[in-house]
Amino acid sequence: MIIVLLAAIALFFIVGVPIAFALGAGATIAILWEGTLPISIVAQRMFFGLDSWLLMAIPLFMLAGQLMSTGGMSTRLVAFATELFGFVRGSLAMVSVAASMVFAGVSGSSTADTAAVGSILLPLMDERGYDMRFATALQAAAGSIGPIIPPSLLMILIGFTTGTSVSALFLGGIVPGLLIGLGLMVVAYVHAARGGDAYLPVRQGINLRRLARTGIAAAPALGMPVIILVGIVGGFFTTTEAAVIAVVYGLFVSMFVYREITIAQLPRLIMRSAELAAVIMFIQTTAFLFAWLITVHEVPGMLARLMVEWVSGPGTFFLLYLPLLLLVGAVMESFSATVVMLPIVFPIAQSFGVDPVHFGVVTTVGWAIGYVTPPFGATLFVACSLSGKTIRETTPHIVPIVVSMLVVLLLITYIPAIVLFIPGWFG
Amino acid sequence: MIQAATFDKVLSPVRRAVRAGVVIIFGALVLVVFAQVIARSVFNAPFSWSEELARYLQVWLILLASAACVRKQLHLTVDYAVHALAERAQRRLQVVALAAVSFFLVVVIVSSLSLIAATGSQMTPALQIPIRAVYVALPVGALLMLLETLALAVRLLGPPEDLLPVDEHAGGEA
């Protein structure tokens, strides 16, 4: 039955059936093949995959992200970051990383992050004569921090799929996100040091008056991550409630403070957010059916018994898991990869004593590297379409960037304390 | 042979209704959840019904929006194998893929109707509305997706000039 299930799904994938429908059709065929389950189980499982209070944070954070990237927050964040980092060599590259990190704390989505910051900074870098192949790769990587620094749509889905606390995952992502940003700044500095005059600083020193002025203009955007984090960590709101506060806050700031969104624009924004959320959530409905079949047939247990000969604990487990994570991340979109792979892998990880929060954060960082690596790199696609460079042109410049991200991945995998110490304060 | 244009004409009021439905339901969802936050944290008087209502709005929201995604071909696909083929073979495979999608949607409709029949006049715990009013989102959503799938198939089988350009934002949003 499991073989029928996996073979049918693989076949549908190859023929080009969208992932959500391939999972559903494959599961249906397996159920009909076995013949003992009522067909109403299909609708029932799908319904439970949608009827979730936690997952509601996904459409809400999606809407908040759309509001804030259209509503003028990104422009002001970039202006502020330019005053902060303008005196460094390769300053615009630094600004791209720094602004993406702050925007990561506002939106939960890597592609929204890449588009919001990249659409402002990539043209500026081009104007100054930066090597755009490098700039594109860097912006793609900077955007991939979006789901690592909270809030994070990806972590909500990982938390839901594995039954792990989303707020613990959020907290666990803070340090890895900062480390990746730091690594990218180092790579950018090395690149700028060897580049020509294009990389000269855009400002002479820090002008305190301009810093203060742009800082005040950016304050409403900077306040967002604070509200979300304090609210969730302090136990004032649940993740979903924090998401709705982000929506209301985003609406207020972009309509009444920055005045860049009008009522007439709202239906289009809402529709766009609903579609983006539906793409993720509809996969989740049929994946719920798939995961249920996998669990009922005890597939993870069987695989774990097979692996027991080689795997003795978390260390050896990750030795096998990291290559799988990077490979799947490179060829598949992260949300589908999460719902297909984690129902199988997570129980195995647990049976070898891996901490659920550690597992979730490592997985998030692994997928983030997948956003940057071809052939399927979600933020790479966005950055390339913004700069007009092809994936082939940027690929050589991706190498040092991905190496810096891999270093962080290995660090957080083998020193779990880096991930777990902040959640530990609040646990 | 049905022409793509006729199909679009028939579907266009349906599409407008879906769009309006999505916008209204999403707006209501935001209001309900925000009202809950205010009631609980400011007035210390939580509602008993808001979480349930929000979850049911979400069920409707995602299923309706999903139909719009079928039309715009936003649903994520693993397309390496398909892209390696010649154009004619690609179109043939697309027909097979649309047939598989339709098969699944028909199963969802049948399956959800049997689920609805089984629930009878059961009421939801907090709101005390018939649970059928929520479950019915599944066959309605699946039927809308099926109609959009058929519209894509009609287009694919018709003359080449009817082919829609695929949405360039079809990549994932993560």
B37 touches chain A (CB under 8 A): yes
Give the pLDDT mean for B40-44.
82
B38 touches chain A (CB under 8 A): no
In the numeric block, which tokens belong to residue A24?
């559903």
Name every residue whose Cβ is closer than 8 Å to that of residue A35 and which is 6 or more positions away in sequence: none
CA distance A52 to chain B (A): 6
- Per the CB < 8 Å rule, is A270 touching B26? yes
Share of chain B above pLDDT 90, in %: 39
Nearest C-alpha in A relative to B64: A278
Position A259 pLDDT exceeds 90: no
The pLDDT confidence band at residue A188, using thresholds 50, 70 and 90, is: very high
Amino acid in position B103: F
Nearest C-alpha in B relative to A31: B107
Q: Could you give the number of structural domains in chain B?
A: 1
Q: What confidence tens digit (pLDDT) does each residue in B84-141 have?
A: 788 888 888 888 899 999 999 999 999 999 888 888 778 888 878 888 888 999 999 9
B113 vs A426: which has the higher pLDDT:
B113
A174 vs A375: which has the higher pLDDT:
A174
Contacting residues of B for A59, CB less than 8 Å apart: 26, 29, 58, 61-62
A350 vs A332: which has the higher pLDDT:
A350
Amino acid in position A117: V
Residue B169 lies in a domain: no
HSE of A120 in the Cβ direction (CA atoms, 13 Å)?
Answer: 24
Position A304 pLDDT exceeds 60: yes
What would the DSSP string read from start to end of B50-107? HHHHHHHHHHHHHHHHHHHHHHTT-S----HHHHTS-HHHHHHHHHHHHHHHHHHHHH
pLDDT score for B167: 43
Residue B172 lies in a domain: no
Intra-chain end-to-end CA distance of chain A, in Å: 41
CA distance B167 to chain A (A): 13
pLDDT score for B173: 41
Position A174 pLDDT exceeds 90: yes
Contacting residues of A for B76, CB less than 8 Å apart: 18-20, 279, 283, 333, 335-336
The pLDDT confidence band at residue B169, using thresholds 50, 70 and 90, is: very low
- Per the CB < 8 Å rule, is A282 touching B33? no
- Rounded to the nearest 5 percent, the helix, strand and coil shares of chain B are 70, 0, 25
In sequence order, the β-bridge partners of residue B130 are B123
Position A426 pLDDT exceeds 60: yes
Position B171 pLDDT exceeds 60: no
Burial label, B110 (beta-carbon count in 10 A; 0-12, 13-18, 19+): middle
Give the pLDDT mean for A89-114.
87
Q: Report which DSSP code applies to B160.
A: G
The pLDDT confidence band at residue B160, using thresholds 50, 70 and 90, is: low
Share of chain B above pLDDT 70, in %: 89
CA distance A288 to chain B (A): 14
Position A269 pLDDT exceeds 80: yes
Nearest C-alpha in A relative to B80: A14
Q: For residue A117, what are the CA distances in angstroms to A20, A94, A110, A114, A392? A: 30, 12, 11, 6, 22
**B59 closest CB neighbour out of A18, A50, A279:** A50
Mutate to test the interface with B, among A48, A63, A269, A270 (most CBs of B within 10 A): A270
> Mean pLDDT, chain B, as a whole number?
84
Contacting residues of A for B75, CB less than 8 Å apart: 18-21, 279, 282-283
Residue B173 lies in a domain: no
Residue B170 lies in a domain: no
The pLDDT confidence band at residue A33, using thresholds 50, 70 and 90, is: confident
B131 touches chain A (CB under 8 A): no
Q: What confidence tens digit (pLDDT) does each residue in A308-335 have?
A: 777 888 988 999 999 999 988 888 888 8
Asked if A245 contacts A237 with a C-beta cutoff of 8 angstroms, the reply is yes
Q: Cβ of A228: how many Cβ atoms within 10 Å?
A: 25
Contacting residues of A for B174, CB less than 8 Å apart: 109-111, 146-147, 153-154, 333-335, 367, 371, 378-379
The Cα–Cα gap between A80 and B142 comes to 47
A227-231, A355-359, B38-42, B165-169 — most confident range: A355-359
CA distance B165 to chain A (A): 17
**A241 closest CB neighbour out of B37, B62, B134:** B37
Burial label, B166 (beta-carbon count in 10 A; 0-12, 13-18, 19+): exposed
Contacting residues of A for B96, CB less than 8 Å apart: 15
- Per the CB < 8 Å rule, is B26 touching A273? yes
**B76 closest CB neighbour out of A62, A283, A285:** A283
Position A409 pLDDT exceeds 90: yes
In sequence order, the β-bridge partners of residue B123 are B130
Position A362 pLDDT exceeds 90: yes
The pLDDT confidence band at residue A301, using thresholds 50, 70 and 90, is: confident
Position A220 pLDDT exceeds 50: yes
CA A135 to mean position of chain CA atoms? 20
Asked if A52 contacts B109 with a C-beta cutoff of 8 angstroms, the reply is no
- Per the CB < 8 Å rule, is B97 touching A40? no
Asked if A126 contacts A331 with a C-beta cutoff of 8 angstroms, the reply is no
Q: Report which DSSP code applies to B123.
A: B
Contacting residues of B for A378, CB less than 8 Å apart: 171-174
Q: Which of A8, A55, A64, A283 is nearest to B77 (CA)?
A: A283
Q: Indicate the SS3 state at residue B16.
A: helix
Residue B30 lies in a domain: yes
B87 touches chain A (CB under 8 A): no
* H helix or E strand, kind and range, residue A416: none
pLDDT score for A36: 83
> Mean pLDDT, chain A, as a whole number?
88
Residue B155 lies in a domain: yes
The pLDDT confidence band at residue A423, using thresholds 50, 70 and 90, is: confident
Asked if A128 contacts A89 with a C-beta cutoff of 8 angstroms, the reply is no
B14 touches chain A (CB under 8 A): no
The pLDDT confidence band at residue A84, using thresholds 50, 70 and 90, is: confident
Residue B32 lies in a domain: yes
Contacting residues of B for A51, CB less than 8 Å apart: 55-56, 58-59, 134
Range of the domain at B30: 4-163
Contacting residues of B for A280, CB less than 8 Å apart: 173
pLDDT score for B164: 54
Q: Which of A128, A63, A145 is nearest to A90 (CA)?
A: A128
